[in-house]
Structure 1
Amino acid sequence: MADPRPPATPRRTLGMPDLRALETFVAVCEANSMVLAAERLGLSQSAVSQAIKSLEEDLGLQLMDREVRPARPTHAGHVLHEVAARLLSQARAAMDQVRASARQELAQIRLGCVDSFAATVGPKLIRAMAGQARQIQMWSGLTPTLAGQMLARELDMVICTDAGVQDPRVVQRLLFSESWVAVYPKDHPVPPLHTLQALSAAAGALPLIRYSQRSVIGQQIERYLRHVGVQAPRCYEFDATDPLLSLVASGLGWALSTPLCLWQSRQYLDAVQVMPLPPARLGQRHFFLLSREGEWAGLDDDVVRVTREVIRHDTAPAIRHCLSALPASALSCPDEESL
C-alpha cells in the first residue's frame, strides 16, 4: 500500500560564506553604497550585487533591504556586519602571522650535508650565506639518512651524492662533480695509469681498502669497479675517509676515493700518492641540492650559486695546489668545462 504522506522536502544544507564575499558585504555596509563599494574593491557593481545575493543564499537570510534607496542592511545584515568585520580583522592578523613565520623560517635553515662536503665546503658556504640568513643549522651524515630526514621535514635542504629521491615536490639540482682517483702508499711504485686495466695491477699484492656498502660512495665505487672489470677481495671497509687513508698511509693497502674526500682528510696526504684515472663511464660522483619547490623564495638558488662559487674560487684551487697530479677536470661544475 502506497504511503499517502507527501515526500519529505530535502533539508537544505547551508554553505559557509567565503572571506571575499564577507569583505564585499562589509565594504557595502561601510560605504552605504554598492557603487562606492565596487569602486573601492575594484569590482563591477554587478559583481558586488551578486556577492551579496550569494551570501543571502548561503545564510538563508535577507541581508539588505532593497526597498529603500540606497539599500540598507536588515537586522540580520547589521549583525553580520559586526561579526564579519571582526572575522576579517582576525583573518588579516592570521595571514600576517603566517607571513612572519615564513620569514622566520627563511632566516633559519636546517641544512643536511654529506660529511665530505660539510667538512670542506660547508664552513665557507655558511660564512657566505650569513648575510642572507640569520642562522644556518648544519647536519652531516650519510646520504640515505639525510634524504629520509628531509622527506620527514626534519631538514629543509640537503646536499648529497644521490638524486634518487622519488618525490615530485622535491627539486634536485646538480651542484658539481668529481672524478674517482686512486690512492697508494707514498713509497709504493706506481706507473702512470694510462689504462683502467692497469688500475688493479699497479697495486701489486696490496689489498683494496673500501668504503663500506652502507655509504653511497661505497656503493658507487663498487659499481665503478664492476664496470672497469677490477676484482679485489673484500678485506677492510670503512664508512669514513680518515681510517681508510690511515691504512693506505701505513702501507696496508690502496683505495679509490675523490678529491673532496682526500681534502677532508688532508693530514694523510704527505704519506700517500694520488693518481688520476682515465675517463670512464661511472667514473664520477655528483653532488646535488635537494629542496622543496616553491618554499624558499629563491634562497635555494642562492645555495646553488654560492656553493659553485666556493668550489670554483676556493676549494678547487686549494686541491689543485696540493694534488698537482690531478687534472682540472677532476672537480667540475655543470655550467663550466672545469674549475
Structure 2
Amino acid sequence: MKLRCAVLDDYQGVALASGDWGSLAGRVDVRVLREHLTDRDTLIAAVQDCEILVVMRERTPVDATLLARLPRLRLLVTSGMRNASVDVAAARARGVTVCGTASSPAPPTELTWALLLGLARHVPAETRALREGGPWQSTVGADLAGRTLGLVGLGKIGARVAAVGLAFGMHVCAWSPNLTEERAAEHGVRLARGKRELLADSDFVSLHMVLSDRTRDLLGEPELRAMRPHAYLVNTSRAGLVDGGALLRALREGWIAGAGLDVYDTEPLPADDPLRSLPNLLALPHLGYVTEGNYARYFGQAVEDIEAFLKGAPVRELA
C-alpha cells in the first residue's frame, strides 16, 4: 500500500519541479497544497489521511494540538534544520520522525542588501514616479561609503552581510549578547560596547539573530528611539525580534527614516495590516530564502529524507 504525502504552502507551484519526486513513484502518492490554510479544521481535513507532510519553513505551525489530530502521520519534513513552529518533542512522543534539509545563508544575505539598497536610494518611490509619469528625480539617496552599518548578530548571515558592507566602504560594527572582540575582528568589524551604542551610532541597522525567549522584543521603544532619525532598520530574520507596536509608531512618527521588512508576526500579512500602507516601509513577502537554488536544496533533500525514512534509516533528524 502506497503512503500519502502532502506538500504544504507551495505558493509558487514549484515544489514538484524542484526535486526528483519521480523516484518515489509506486511507493508514495504526493499531492501539493498551494493555498495557505489558516483554518485548522480545513487543514486537518486536507491532510488527515497522510503519513508524510513536507512543510516550508514556518509557514504552517505544527504543534502538539495539530499532531494529536493527525494520527496517521509518521514523517514530518521541514526545510532547514531549525523550525521554531514545529513541536519536535511532541512529534517524537507520538512516534513521528522529524527531518530537515540544508539551507544556504547566501539568499537571505542577498535579500538583506536588496532591502538596504532599496531604502538608501528610494527605489520604490522613484520606480513608481517613473512608471506613473511623476517627477523626474524627486529624492536624494543616502550614501553607503563612509556610513556606519550596525549588525545585531554576526552569525553565518550576519558575517556575510558584514563582508558586503565592508566592500561598499562602510564602517561595520556588530553586537550580540555573546559576541567577542576576537569573533568581530575575524570578520573585520568593530564590536559595539552594547546594543544601545550600536543603535545610536549606526546609519543602517540590520538584524540577524535567532528568535528565542531571550531575543524576543530585542528592539522595543527605547531601542528604536535610540536610533538616529535618518537611520534605517532592516529585518530579514524574525519579526519577533522587534516590538511590532513600537516599530509601527517609529515609522509613523519619524523616530527613524524607514525600515525594510521581510518577516511579520502573521504571515501572510493580513490585507488590512497598517504596515501595508506606510510610505517609509519597504516590505517584501518573506522572500529571504526563496531562490531557485534553495528550493532545489529543500525539495531535493525532502525527497532524500522520505527515501531514507522508507528504508528505515532516517537522515537529518531534528534534535
- TM over 0.5: same fold? no
In the superposition, the TM-score normalised over structure 1's length comes to 0.31
Q: Which has the larger radius of gyration?
A: 1
The structure whose residues are more often helix, as a share, is: 1
